[in-house]
């Protein structure tokens, strides 16, 4: 079978690109240990409060030790539940000191939601029955808007909160 010179060039280019792509994937997966996020923790979406982190008293900011925090959030029905303050009012603003290492744990009892903190690398899809986790360091002081970036229904535009990183 005779191949034209340009066909040979494109075959070499295509196969070479495929080999380079596979080497890059292999390097990232095996040498660097990167992998897609797995859903390691499964919970009952009809009873998220049965899971310790999502009991009403554990929602919101929980200090683990100096400069380490865990933030537990339940995303449901056009609302992020960050817990309540001392007076029983719903918390809409989370305050974290600058330079803190923060683990976000978020779940949903109803539909798929998003959890995006604009201006940071925090961006998760929240699926019912799973606990989505992401850890980050918050080094830049300021106010950041928390938004749902997955359409969840007619009240989707009402689903927001605020993260304040202070000095």
Asked if residue 74 lies in contact with residue 90, where contact means CB atoms within 8 angstroms, the answer is no
* pLDDT score of 61 more than 90: yes
Per-residue pLDDT band at 73 (split at 50, 70, 90) = very high
Q: Is the pLDDT of residue 12 over 60?
A: yes
∠ CA 146-148-152, nearest 5°, is 160
pLDDT averaged over every residue in the chain: 91
Q: Which fold has domain 45-166?
A: Immunoglobulin-like (2.60.40)
For the chain, give every domain's residue range. 1-35, 45-166
**C-beta neighbour count of 94 within 10 angstroms:** 23
Prediction pTM value = 0.76
pLDDT tens profile 82-98: 998 888 898 999 999 99
């Amino acid at each position: 079978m005779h191949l034209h010179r340009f066909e040979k060039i494109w075959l070499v280019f295509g196969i070479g690109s495929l080999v380079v792509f596979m080497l890059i994937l292999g390097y990232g997966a095996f040498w660097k240990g990167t992998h897609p996020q797995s859903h390691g923790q499964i919970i009952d979406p009809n009873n998220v409060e049965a899971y310790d982190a999502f009991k009403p008293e554990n929602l919101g900011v929980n200090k683990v030790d100096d400069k380490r925090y865990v933030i537990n959030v339940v995303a449901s029905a056009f609302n992020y539940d960050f817990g309540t303050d001392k007076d029983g009012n719903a918390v809409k603003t989370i305050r974290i000191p600058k330079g803190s290492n923060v683990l976000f744990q978020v779940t949903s009892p109803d539909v798929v939601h998003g959890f995006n903190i604009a201006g940071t690398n925090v961006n998760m899809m929240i699926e019912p029955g799973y606990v989505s986790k992401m850890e980050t360091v918050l080094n830049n002081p300021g106010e950041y808007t928390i938004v749902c970036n997955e359409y969840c229904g007619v009240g989707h535009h009402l689903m927001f909160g605020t993260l304040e990183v202070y000095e």
